[in-house]
Chains A and B, each alone.
Chain A
Amino acid sequence: MSSPALVRHPEDGMPTASIAEAGPVPAVTPAAAPTSFGALMLRWYRLNQGRLRATAIGIISLLAFLLVWHLLTTYRVVFFVRFTNVPSPLAVYASFVKAIHDPKFLMHVLLSCRRIFFGFSLAAIVGVPLGLIMGRFKLVHEIIFPVAEVLRPIPAIAWVPMAIMLWPTNEQSIVYITFLGSFFPILVNTLHGMSLVDPVLVRAAQCLGARERSIFREVYFPASLPHIFTGLTVGMGVAWVSLIAAEMISGQYGIGYFTWEAYSLVQYADIALGMIAIGVLGLGSSLLIRGAGQLVMPWRST
């Protein structure tokens, strides 16, 4: 039984080659023959036909929305809903052109973004690790979960008076409200992800010599990542909701305040501009999170 190391003796037993042949053979793409540019374009078109169609329909439906809006406002339709004072798309566009040359508008946008950045980042920095630890250690879960369950149903807006009392500056209380809004979705989804980690994967790691800390880093954390990112996406949405409400009530700057102020000052076009700006910013920030998710979880993009 003194067989030498097998690396040097691939011929004994079943040859390596036969193992390789035994399994499914990798699909080898044949060296592509040089094709003309036109043929390439045609192939690209065929492969992306579905996506192109979706894009085209999306653009058409957006244009139709603008057209309906335009017609409703130019003819000042009153049919249960009153469009008499609603600004037309052209009026909103005019105020948009004016706004982008106005440093005050840009400051409103930047301030809102900064509040989202701080509030949301804090929520992620606290919520994700806390969820991971609560998911792993029963005692921590038992201590923190009841408190979280009591606080969770309170809408962030209901926190506004309390936040103003708690924090010395207006800025801090608004960031705090934003933090609260995104914190609970992040925490709950991280917890959910932890509860769904396949125990067989943990066993597999243990059999390969992994200790507690490595299992946490190499199994629990990556296994929970998809749910963590769901939490971040939902949290980002709620962060914007909370921010705008807080700005409307207690702000002096910010896009929410801008929108509310426009109403007080009877600048109706600016109301719509503020709303659209909020929508675009919300969309942009959730796209950022989705992009980050694809970057962090390359195994999920097929």
Chain B
Amino acid sequence: MSEVLAAKPKGHIEVKNFSLAYETIEGPVQAVTDTQIHVNPGEFVSIVGPSGCGKSTLLNAVAGFLKPTTGIVTVDGERVNGPSAERGMVFQQYSLFPWKTVRENVEFGLKMRGMPRSQRERAARTLLGLAGLEAFEKHYPERLSGGMKQRVGIVRALATGPKVLLLDEPFGALDAQTRVIMQQILTNMWQRLKISVLFVTHDIDEAIFLSDRVYCMTARPGSIKAEIPIPLERPRQQSMMMSSEFLALRRGLMSLIREESLKAMGGEINDLGMQGLSIELQGHSLADVI
């Protein structure tokens, strides 16, 4: 157990000169270009950006599912060559194995590592206890609520003691109240485990509330538009979201993202205009209206 939950900063992610292009019939489509990011050991970093900007692509490359077209991805100096249990991942769609009980889901990574049954059962129970799920260990995921499923998802990803935790819009499908609770739980686990977190979201409040640093990406082809440190003190409380400091950060990020969203949508809005369905601008610029 102590090995799994040992609290020592680890997991230095480095993404250098990164670009990624998809091959299509019309030729390569650039999803992400010229991107450098890093996550220091034990740091919580978020990536925000307009939809389709390639933030999930970037995360999938760090996970090892996608090979960069140029550039390299390293974790603690080792080059990422494919998925591994060193980089735990949490998905938006939960992606729990429906044919395994909650505990069997959490045990999966340990089973793959060859840990004996009794040992991994004990480890899974302890972890489920931390997430308040011990009463559900024998349930199948289908019977859990969204928030509970995602707690299992997080616990499952942490069970093998990864160096870094990658989350791809993990709370996107949850209602607002559950989301706030899940953010608390995630912060709590991260502070105990002292592992690095790379968190992809389109929710600006969530990014500010959780992170030490936020990267803002441009519209496709995605690259880093800005890097914003979040100097809010920890532990963070829900009430901080009303503070002037928080709101200032929020305003700043908002306007950065809005610029990019408009760029991404610009074409579509002009197309509507051509069809005579245009929004009446009345002398304002498009940005003012939207």
Contact = CB atoms under 8 A, between A and B. Distances in A.
Interface string A202-222: 011111111100100011001
A218 to B, nearest CB: 7
B113 A209 contact: yes
Interface in A1-46: 1-7, 12-14, 16, 19-24, 26
A23 B148 contact: yes
Contacts of B192: 3, 6, 12-13
B112 A299 contact: no
Interface residues of A, number: 40
Given A206-B83, A223-B99, A14 B1 contact: no
Contacts of B142: 299, 302
B169 to A, nearest CB: 13
B85 A23 contact: no
A201 B96 CA distance: 7
Contacts of A209: 84-85, 109, 112-113, 160
Contact of A22 (B2, B5, B88, B132): B132
B98 interface: yes
The secondary-structure label for the interface of chain A is helix
Contacts of A14: 184-185, 187-188, 235
Contacts of A208: 85, 88, 108-109, 112, 156-157, 160
A222 B140 CA distance: 14
A200 B112 contact: no
Nearest to A205: B108
A130 interface: no
Interface in B243-273: none
Contact of B136 (A6, A26, A201, A211): A26
A7 B2 contact: yes
B193 interface: yes
Contacts of B278: none
A225 interface: yes
A22 B194 CA distance: 22
Contact of A201 (B65, B83, B95, B143): B95
Nearest to A211: B112
Contacts of A23: 131-133, 145, 147-148, 151, 181
Contacts of A2: 7-8
A201 B99 CA distance: 11
Given A201-B97, A209-B84, A13 B191 contact: yes
B130 interface: yes
Q: Which of B5, B97, B191 has the most CB of A within 10 A?
A: B97
A209 B148 CA distance: 23
A2 B126 CA distance: 22
Contact of A1 (B148, B157, B194): B194
A297 to B, nearest CB: 7
A109 to B, nearest CB: 37
Nearest to A225: B99
A297 B42 contact: no
B1 A207 contact: no
A2 B9 CA distance: 9
A214 B100 CA distance: 14
A198 interface: yes
19 contacts: A1-B42, A3-B7, A3-B194, A5-B6, A13-B235, A14-B187, A16-B129, A23-B151, A26-B135, A200-B93, A201-B95, A203-B65, A205-B112, A206-B82, A207-B84, A209-B109, A225-B99, A299-B98, A302-B143
Given A204-B96, A209-B112, 14 more contacts: A5-B6, A13-B235, A14-B184, A14-B187, A16-B132, A19-B132, A22-B184, A22-B185, A23-B181, A206-B64, A208-B160, A210-B108, A222-B97, A298-B140
| 10 closest A-B pairs by CB | A20-B132, A209-B85, A208-B109, A206-B83, A14-B188, A222-B99, A209-B112, A3-B7, A299-B140, A207-B89
Interface of A: 1-7, 12-14, 16, 19-24, 26, 198, 200-201, 203-211, 214, 218-219, 222-223, 225, 297-299, 302
